[in-house]
Amino acid sequence: AQSVAQPEDQVNVAEGNPLTVKCTYSVSGNPYLFWYVQYPNRGLQFLLKYITGDNLVKGSYGFEAEFNKSQTSFHLKKPSALVSDSALYFCAVSPRTHSGGYNKLIFGAGTRLAVHP
Amino acid sequence: DGGITQSPKYLFRKEGQNVTLSCEQNLNHDAMYWYRQDPGQGLRLIYYSQIVNDFQKGDIAEGYSVSREKKESFPLTVTSAQKNPTAFYLCASSPPGSDTQYFGPGTRLTVL
């Protein structure tokens, strides 16, 4: 079955330190990969996506993600965390099984990032 | 001011009542989606629509209904048949030819 795993329910990091939020997926073929962020009682905001090409993708608010095909991973990273980065982060995958039609997004369960001053 | 709007932000319902959640977008997106979010479970797809007057069931459509009479609007009705309707409901849309979905602010539904 197609799935997305975010193995950590919560990640704690000190402000100014680098952060990593992990994501692995189980989808055949060449999926598109996404990261979204959600602040309390708000909708999801798009951060970045990987389609093809360079394995390091840069997105909004200084975030980047590294695609690793052999490990089927798409980890979210930031060189220096801010307290304002504290939020819920979702990894999502589009399997791309239907060309020209609807391609669903499969979401992970989310990882709560807590950045401490 | 472009974007996706959802109303109301908070909604309370008595058991046995149907309730309709509004979703409107002025982004000229063709596709629209409804998701349900429960703690620790991520997002689950309820219904989606790729064009006006057409919609498809998602993974958890039972107890829900939708309509798509206008491109800008995709209302979701939570019926009394939905056994556990208390959740945070998110609407999204995506532009033609893109897999990227853009989300509204959500509606929190509580059944009393």
Is the minimum CB–CB distance between A14 and chain B shorter than 8 Å?
no
Does residue B8 have a cis peptide bond before it, meaning omega lies within 30 degrees of 0? yes
Chain A contact present for B99, CB below 8 A: yes
Q: How many CB pairs under 8 A join A and B?
A: 53
How far apart CA B40 and CA A108 sit, in angstroms, is: 9
Alpha helices in B1-112 (DSSP H): none
Report chain B's mean pLDDT, rounded to a whole number: 93
| Contact assessment for residue A38 and residue A46, using Cβ atoms and an 8 Å cutoff | no
Chain B CB contacts of A41 below 8 Å: 88, 106, 108
* pLDDT at A100 exceeding the cut of 60: no
Strands (E), chain B: 4-7, 10-13, 19-25, 31-37, 43-51, 54-57, 64-66, 76-78, 87-94, 102-103, 107-111
* pLDDT > 70? residue A45: yes
Closest in A44, A46, A49 to B90, CB measured: A44
Q: Nearest residue on chain B to A3, judged by CA atoms? A: B42
Q: How far is B77 from chain A (nearest CA, A)?
A: 19
User: What was the pLDDT predicted at A2?
Assistant: 86
Cβ of B103 within 8 Å of Cβ of A43? The answer is yes
* pLDDT at res. A95: 85
